[in-house]
Structure 1
Amino acid sequence: MDTIGEQLKKARLEKGLTIEDLQKITKIQRRYLSAIEANDFDAMPSDYYTRTFIRQYAEAVGLNARPLIRRFEGKPDDTQEELPQTKPIRGSRKEKHRKKKKKQPTFKDYLPVTLLSLVVIAIIGTIIYAMRLDIASGPLVPKPEKAVVIGNDSKESTTESSSQPDSTESSEKTKDSSKKKTTDNKFKITSDSIDLVTYSGSNVSTPIKLDFTALEGPVWIGLQQSGTNAIYYQYTLQPGEEISSIVPEDATGIDIIVGASNNLSVKVNDQELAFNKANPTTGKKIITIDFATTTKENE
């Protein structure tokens, strides 16, 4: 069998490499390469460098370095490392999985569910607390001293807390009041856009009554005094439904917020406002009415 040096030299020549070429590839000094080919390992700096240089030489010429290094160390080429003995596994895999499943759950396993439950309880508690505050604060719309009722025949009747006057006198006053409203009430558009229309009213008799009628679809309305952001009345009318509201006596103006403008008819003291005619929209619109001059109905 060829020696280590003979095998390496033979592979180098088959590659067509010279000692100088091999020195450039491996960066090993020429004298050490020649000593390896001559099997003069005593000329090497140490056994560590000898093994390192043999490995680099073999890799450069395409040989497996391990048999050469084992031969240098005096070990036979066919020696195989003893593999560690495997221990037999007791029991089947199914039994192991069953044992894992039977493992008792810990507090960490329940922690996500516990935190989620606490969050849900906190949210529900907040909602209940807010509802109690709303109930304690009273109704959103204060009960007016004068109520307006819409009958099935769409005729309106007013009731006061005081005793009702004679039917003949009431009828005459109603007629006179109706004539006065028709004659005196004047509403003029001062500005008009898609989302805002402003009216200026003059000689508006009080109390000022607003009549709302839903046409072909549901419509939401909200009422607030001009100059404020607090809605004191809100309601959603269904198709064909009618409601009425009395404007507060101290109000110099009123804002009517409409959710679906094309589905609402508005009357002020029985005078209809064509608020959605010039710039019609199917969405939100604000109707602002400025009561410039008002007159008491009973004066």
Structure 2
Amino acid sequence: MVTGLGDRLKEARKAKGYTLDDLQGITKIQKRYLAGIENEEFNSMPGSFYVRAFIKQYAEAVGLDADEMLSLYKGSAETIEAEEEQQLASPTLTRRRSRHSNQLNEIMPKIIVALFIIVIIFVIAFLWKHNVSNTPKVPISSEDPIQVEDQPKSGDIGQQKENTEETNDDANVEDEQDKDEEVAEVEKQQKLENINIAGEDSTYSLENSEEFKLEIRTNGPSWIGVTDENRTERTPGARIMQAGEKVEVDVTDTEQIRIRVGRPTETEIYVNGELLEYASDTVPQNIIIDYQKE
């Protein structure tokens, strides 16, 4: 969708006597992104947030009204994003159906084996019951001597009672210890939950965890950037990750992490092995995790 935005910026640049190389030096924006703005090829850029920032810097550098240029871009942004989502939806749906089919194929042999084992157990139980019912009873002969066991003395009975009580006390102590260990294990279980949503920001709280490790996987092109509370980049660099890529980073030394996600539908974030559930469908969005250290 051509809006005239690119032509106006290009004409203003030429009127100033700037080349794309000159403009790159002034704005610190890569030349290929400047050319993309002039050609209105916004799909080649990291995301709408960066497109708006680049347009504003470009307009100010060539002496145009930044708000007017942004209004021209806004008219086409919704149409562009709708087309992108429609293109991404089809392969994502196909991939999910394929995944469900593969899971069913993996589970089916296990179900068949389980049913076979159940049938075998049923047959064995039936045969055993049938044999027991057909076993002849042996009559007791009156000539067989009847043996009377010696009755325990009163002192022996008391000793046995004391031993039984001691055994029960030991068992109760072990049960209480097991329960305490189970309660402690539950209390230490990691807790990751969403606590706030504001615009593009979704804030989460991480508790009951001695470490803070991230694993980010992409199923399709997605802009990824990870910074800490000091705005320090914690990955080799913010960039567009392609399908099948994965990045791991240990951020246990931080108190807060901000993950800029270009396409949440194509990005999986794991926190200490636990898959983070997106609380917002905003595109793009910032995932902010506050690490509550013990």
Q: What is the TM-score normalised by the length of structure 1? A: 0.35
Pick the structure with greater CA Rg.
1
Q: What is the TM-score normalised by the length of structure 2? A: 0.35
User: Greater share of helix residues, 1 or 2?
Assistant: 2
User: Greater share of strand residues, 1 or 2?
Assistant: 1
